[in-house]
Chain A
């Protein structure tokens, strides 16, 4: 009986607040999940270093604003550029040399890149948490009735949707996008057909990392404590979000992000005793999806045709 106390006693205002929290968290996961899914969709590789690229972007923002005192609008542009470059560099150093190697090698290289970034950050910036710079315009509180929203929580879903639309446009309606789709269908033939594989793949990572940077900025404003391991849990959860929605499918990643974000919040909302287990929710959903629909909700059902 007590188990359902939370469910029965919740007021409308509380529920609405929970929904707002859930959508805010969900769109944050969605933004980062898009980066994961994009790289997988084009290259059929899971970039485990994606979460750590988010972490590095947060540190870039910290340095830009708090140390060098560059105004935030310039710093954010700088952060996106710097992170995109970081993504391209990692691709060049850790993934390109293994392009013709079996898929496992590049996966392990990604894990290695992830550890490298984490420990580099630990060494350079020390393990002590730093505060992501506060941007009063975005972190101010807005009250709608009795529901409190941070300005950034309204911005995040908007940015997520815009990023989604821009990305879909690039992939479906531009020449570069067409080349990306060609590479994902069959990379050898694409090369033979005259597509510059190196450039296309670098472009993919640049776009993916730019998205990671945007996600990082949103994340940092919402949750200001930066540590070298900040990318681990979100990286894991956003990867799960991408898998839930169908890895390789951009719309699926957004769907997965929202499912995970809303689910996490509502589980704790309705069953407060389970608040210590909220992370387990993501992993349980992953197991269920892998059992019953391994290609994800919006994923294509691929069967090997002999």
Chain B
């Protein structure tokens, strides 16, 4: 009896494996479909950001479902907010699912993890909100829809200086490439404005940390005019909460990762009045595409869209525009077409990609007021 059971089990397994293999080979080359990979963190620390971007891409797919007469099929892959997973997930999208273009990721570390494989497999990737310059530098196959950190850091440094800050402290999420890069650019820009001793402290914390009381107590004693704290939204919200509890009244400044609902729901009343830079706001939405996006988003998801959804929508448009101009489904030709993107009308404005694959775009500064994100200012590129 036992032997019969084991023989049956092994045959069941074998049949399963064989049918599994057969399936993918069969429908991989359907010629009336073009596959675009969606490479985002849908679970893990960055899940909220990934979700918002997925919304943008799905909306774009709904409003622009076809290109070159073929239906655009999204292949969604979760990189689990994990750098190690990211590389293998990207590889799977390219090798198993045979996508022509990849959209994503949220999170510069995750995008950089996929950088090598897109370069060697020659499949173009368009980052949605990853702002660290290293994502596209030295990588002809990675582009992005968002501004980069040297610009973002300078915008926030100028904002701090303009509002009277002369001594600032920086608290960075040291295990996050985005945060470290942005902190450095902010520091360089601020020192240029306010002098070499104007950044009085740079403190570090790890992703997933919950207790910031020690670094905050130290910083409180130094009495900075403002605190720049780039990092993931959950950690940042807890950090600001604890700072307010300790009696720190200095304003907090951050970057585009703060624009998620979780930042407000975890941070509560303590995150009122913070300021951060981001890529999009209804106030500055002037293009026809933007109006379509806003109307559809409110209809489908209720509530205001975040810049993350807008950027992801634009990443999809850049991909479609590239495929159309390449007039081909060959990834290398698509890549060449994307590289020459000029004045493409998107949600966040007209996109022109420079020689690194970065768009030349302005930044919006937002704050939190009465539990909602509110527009303050727009800083254009000189």
Using Cβ atoms and an 8 Å threshold, which residues of chain B touch A11? 221
Complex Cα spacing A143 to B51, Å: 40
Binds A, one of B30-38, B39-47, B362-370: B39-47
Is B266 touching A264 in the complex (CB atoms < 8 A)?
no
Given known A-B contacts A14-B218, A223-B211, A275-B205, A150 and B266 have beta carbons under 8 A apart: no
Question: In the complex, what residues of B have CB within 8 A of residue A279's CB?
Answer: 206, 209
- The stretch of B13-21, B237-245, B317-325 in contact with A is B237-245
Contact B43 A127 (CB under 8 A): yes
Contact A17 B204 (CB under 8 A): no
Interface residues of A in 268-298 (CB under 8 A from B): 268-269, 272, 275-276, 278-279
One of A67-75, A80-88, A128-136, A205-213 contacting the partner? A128-136
In this assembly, does A216 line the interface, its C-beta being within 8 Å of a C-beta of chain B?
no
Interface: A202 (CB within 8 A): no
Contact B217 A225 (CB under 8 A): no
Bound Cα distance from A150 to B175, whole angstroms: 29
Kindly state whether residue A229 has any CB partner on chain B within 8 Å: yes
Whether the pair B213, A265 counts as a contact (CB closer than 8 A) is yes
Given the interface pairs A129-B266, A224-B241, A229-B208, the reply to whether A21 lies near B213 with Cβ below 8 Å is: yes
Q: Which residues of chain B are near A21, meaning CB under 8 Å?
A: 211, 213-214, 217
Interface residues on B, range: 35 or more
Contact B206 A141 (CB under 8 A): no
What are the interface flags for B202-245 relative to A under an 8 Å C-beta threshold, 1 for contact and 0 otherwise?
Answer: 01111011110111011011000000000000110110010001
**How many contacting A-B pairs (Cβ < 8 A)?**
106
Best-surrounded residue of B42, B48, B201, B221 (most CB of chain A within 10 A) = B221
Question: Which among B174, B218, B234 is the interface contact of A129 at CB below 8 angstroms?
Answer: B234
Which of A13, A223, A266, A276 interacts with B238 by CB under 8 Å?
Answer: A223
Tell me the minimal C-beta distance from A240 to chain B in angstroms: 16
- The answer to whether residues A127 and B42 also contact, given A6-B218, A227-B234 and a CB cut-off of 8 A, is yes
Q: Does chain B have a CB within 8 A of A77?
A: no
Q: Does B265 contact A (CB under 8 A)?
A: yes
Known pairs A25-B213, A225-B237; A127 contacts B203 (CB<8 A): no
Bound Cα distance A129, B267 (Å): 11
Q: A126, B47: Cβ atoms under 8 Å? A: yes
Q: For A223, what are the chain B residues with a Cβ–Cβ distance below 8 Å?
A: 210-211, 238
Indicate if B268 sits at the interface (CB-CB under 8 A).
yes
Contact A148 B241 (CB under 8 A): no
Q: Which residue of A lies closest to B241 (CB)?
A: A224
Cα–Cα distance between A127 and B82 once the two chains are bound (Å): 13
Residues of A within 8 A of B44 (CB): 127
Interface centre among A9, A148, A225, A279 (most CB of B within 10 A): A225
Instruction: Choose one: A225, A265, A268; the contact of B234 (CB below 8 Å).
Output: A225
Chain A interface (Cβ < 8 Å from any Cβ of B): 6, 9-11, 13-14, 17-18, 21, 24-25, 122, 126-131, 134, 141, 143, 146, 148, 150, 223-225, 227, 229-230, 233, 264-269, 272, 275-276, 278-279
